């Protein structure tokens, strides 16, 4: 697609862009940088109490942002794990933005009398990332500083409102297992192998999954995912897996979105 066409489409989208929501507790340099970049892009910032659902909410996604010191502190206190588990269960898409200079963190830790070697801290840092990606349906962005993190958050909010070009369209991942029931459940957005295994273990059958009370017994199934699964299993109308936009198609109708 020609560059001019893409740029024009992005300008059209910004005009009707929903606000980027910021939790009322957010303060500091990252928040200030986000406000500056958003203003430059013509994007409105709205403060709202997000009830523990991340620091920022972009279109179709929730963002938790942490500096490197915050990452280590919250991880070893088990606070971040609880946050991600809650977000994973209740949000469509979760983004974790980590910003800061790891080498600077290591130097500061040593200046405070820390006894861990540089290689140990680096290994722990990588281990945290690997554990998060293995346990949660979470996208991670690593920014060198809060400026880059702010730019990414604003850009993500904008891009999530721009329809994909044909060559860049987001495809639906198909996973083949030895259980046809599992294959079907894995096609539902936000349902990974671990969650599907828990569903089949607790509910025993697909029929049982249409009952909200049964789904409440499954760890990791928040209200959003429960409603989504029940709709998939009971709807008499087509349900689109791909992200759709509030625009009429050629017949003047709109696709459903989950």
Q: How confident is the model at residue 127 (pLDDT cuts 50, 70, 90)?
A: very high
Task: Encode pLDDT of 66-109 as tens digits.
Answer: 999 999 999 999 999 999 988 888 887 899 999 999 999 999 99
- My answer on whether 106 and 205 are in the same domain is no
Q: How confident is the model at residue 5 (pLDDT cuts 50, 70, 90)?
A: low
Average pLDDT over residues 142-158: 94
Whether 250 maps to a domain, the answer reads: no
Compute the distance between CA of residue 202 and CA of residue 219 in angstroms, rounded to an integer.
Answer: 10
Q: Which of 159, 192, 210 is the last residue of a domain?
A: 159
Q: What is the pLDDT of residue 130?
A: 94
Angle, to 10 degrees, between the axis of helix 146-159 and the axis of helix 28-41? 40
Overall number of domains in the chain: 2
Q: What is the pLDDT of residue 217?
A: 87
Q: How confident is the model at residue 250 (pLDDT cuts 50, 70, 90)?
A: very low
Average pLDDT over residues 182-195: 82
- My answer on whether 136 and 14 are in the same domain is yes
Whether 253 maps to a domain, the answer reads: no
> Are the C-beta atoms of residues 92 and 223 closer than 8 Å to each other?
no
Question: What residues are paired with 45 via a beta bridge?
Answer: 20
Residue 249 has pLDDT above 70, yes or no: no
CATH, residue 209: 1.10.150
Compute the distance between CA of residue 170 and CA of residue 93 in angstroms, rounded to an integer.
Answer: 14
> Each residue of 171-202: b (16+ CB within 10 Å) or e?
eeeeeeeeeeebeebbebbbbeeebbeebbeb
CATH, residue 78: 3.40.50.10130
Whether 34 maps to a domain, the answer reads: yes
- My answer on whether 207 and 144 are in the same domain is no
Q: Which residue has the higher pLDDT, 206 or 29?
A: 29
Compute the distance between CA of residue 235 and CA of residue 205 in angstroms, rounded to an integer.
Answer: 18
Question: What percentage of the chain has pLDDT greater than the value 70?
Answer: 79
- My answer on whether 91 and 188 are in the same domain is no
Phi, psi of 94 (to 5 degrees): -120, 130
Q: What is the pLDDT of residue 223?
A: 84
Structural domain of 109: 8-159
> Are the C-beta atoms of residues 189 and 171 closer than 8 Å to each other?
no
User: Which of these, 102, 108, 140, lies nearest to 123 by C-alpha position?
Assistant: 102
Whether 255 maps to a domain, the answer reads: no
Q: What is the pLDDT of residue 252?
A: 45
Task: Encode pLDDT of 156-181 as tens digits.
Answer: 998 887 765 544 444 444 445 567 88
- My answer on whether 58 and 147 are in the same domain is yes
- My answer on whether 155 and 185 are in the same domain is no
Average pLDDT over residues 189-212: 85
- My answer on whether 143 and 18 are in the same domain is yes
Whether 175 maps to a domain, the answer reads: no
Q: Which of 159, 189, 214 is the last residue of a domain?
A: 159
């Amino acid at each position: 697609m020609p560059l001019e066409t893409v740029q024009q489409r992005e300008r059209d989208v910004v005009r009707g862009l929903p606000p980027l929501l910021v939790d009322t507790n957010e303060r500091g340099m990252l928040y200030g940088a986000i406000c500056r970049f958003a203003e430059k892009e013509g994007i409105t910032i709205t403060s709202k109490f997000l009830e523990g659902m991340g620091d920022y909410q972009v279109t179709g996604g929730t963002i938790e942002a942490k500096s490197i010191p915050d990452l280590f502190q919250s991880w070893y206190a088990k606070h971040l794990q609880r946050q991600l588990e809650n977000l994973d269960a209740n949000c469509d898409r979760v983004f974790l933005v980590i910003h800061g200079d790891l080498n600077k963190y290591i130097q500061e830790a040593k200046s405070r009398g820390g006894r861990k070697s540089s290689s140990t801290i680096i290994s722990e840092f990588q281990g945290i990332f690997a554990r998060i990606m293995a346990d949660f349906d979470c996208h991670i962005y690593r920014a060198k500083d809060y400026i880059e993190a702010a730019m990414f958050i604003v850009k993500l909010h904008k891009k999530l409102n721009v329809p994909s070009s044909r060559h860049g369209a987001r495809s639906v991942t198909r996973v083949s297992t030895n259980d046809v029931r599992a294959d079907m459940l894995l096609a539902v957005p936000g349902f990974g192998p671990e969650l599907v295994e828990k569903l089949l273990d607790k509910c025993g059958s697909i029929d049982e999954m249409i009952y909200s009370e049964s789904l409440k017994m499954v760890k990791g199934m928040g209200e959003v995912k429960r409603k989504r699964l029940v709709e998939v299993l009971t709807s008499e109308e087509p349900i689109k897996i791909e992200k759709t936009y509030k625009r009429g198609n050629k017949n003047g109708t709109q696709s459903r979105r989950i």
